[in-house]
Amino acid sequence: MLRFDLDSRYADVMERALYNGSISGISLDGNLYFYENPLASDGTHHRQGWFGCSCCPTNILRLIASVGGYIYSYTDTDVIVHLYAQSEGAFELGDKTVTLRQETNYPWQGDVAITVGIKEPRKFAVKLRVPGWCDGFEVGINGEPCEGAVLNSGYLAIERLWSDGDKIEISIPMLVKRMYAHPDVSGDTGLVALQRGPIVYCLEEADNATCLQRISLPDDAEFEATFEPDLLGGVVTIAAEAQCLDVDGWDEVLYRDTPAVSQPLTIKAIPYYAWDNREPGWMSVWISSVVS
């Protein structure tokens, strides 16, 4: 659909699936797999080794190996960037070969530099996807503001006479966002999930020494994103001040006529794709939301 109708909503779905729904099915060491990708676990759902019906492990490995084919596409007049990743692509525009080389630490950081390679100047368009989750997509060329770019269906088209070594500089704010489900999804009523850039986050018991079901996130909570190079292969984590229901006074009591008291708690969220790579424990993508 993306090739027939250049609309960023298709690439947004592709990006979300690649960073979250697909690679969460494989362990970080590449040896364990599961087919289901639950958004909550009581600590008993785990990946397993290579199983008899090998379609799942082989397909996820084949998908990872083919990601390079999803980053770019091109026509006789355009080169299109769908995904931002450290990469290089070569394209035949008519009788000329054009290369684009991306340098970036995306998705942990939102700065992307794309260098154009071409033997002699040529006029064509570079179309850059503006992610649907993004607020404030900024572009410059060779250190100067980009002028005359046209946004259409989520792609910013920059048409100009390009020369070898021209550099496109992109800045994408990586803000932590609260995500909510459709009101008709009854299981997610009153819940919120966290997303930073294209990455969906979750809470794991390994980082939050309490029952995750007792945690609630105030709607005015502030977030702190930190890159931790020694955690889960190197990830950006999210910390926030939340509330946790206190179980003091509830020993051997199932019901009572006074509510539980909330206590402040600092929570830590990790990328969902990296869950279940440490000791077993509870996991949840959706967090109870409270109005301050």
Residue 34 pLDDT class (50, 70, 90 cuts) = confident
pLDDT on residue 67: 93
Secondary structure of residue 145 in the 3-state scheme: strand
Range of weakest confidence among 60-69, 122-131, 154-163: 60-69
**What pLDDT, in 10s, does the model give residues 35-51?**
888 999 999 999 988 77
Residue 62 lies in a domain: no
Query: Distance (Å, rounded) from C-alpha 137 to C-alpha 268?
Result: 28
Residue 66 lies in a domain: no
The two tokens of residue 144 are 């100067």
Domain that holds residue 114: 71-174
Residue 77 lies in a domain: yes
What is the number of structural domains in the chain?
A: 2
Q: Both 116 and 199 in a single domain?
A: no
Beta pairing, strands 191-196 & 199-204: antiparallel
Residue 4 lies in a domain: no
CATH number at residue 137: 2.60.40.1180
Q: Both 169 and 182 in a single domain?
A: no
Phi, psi of 199 (to 5 degrees): -95, 125
Buried b / exposed e across 16-42, counting CB within 10 Å, b at 16+? bebbbebbbbbbeeeebbbeebeeebe
- Residue 279: DSSP 8-state: S
Q: Both 89 and 147 in a single domain?
A: yes
Residue 59 pLDDT class (50, 70, 90 cuts) = confident
Provide Rg for the chain, Cα atoms: 22
Q: Both 212 and 233 in a single domain?
A: yes
**What pLDDT, in 10s, does the model give residues 128-166?**
999 999 999 999 999 999 988 999 999 999 999 999 999
Mean pLDDT of the chain: 94
pLDDT on residue 211: 87
Instruction: State pTM to two decimals.
Output: 0.94
If you average pLDDT over residues 65-93, what whole number do you get?
95
pLDDT on residue 292: 62
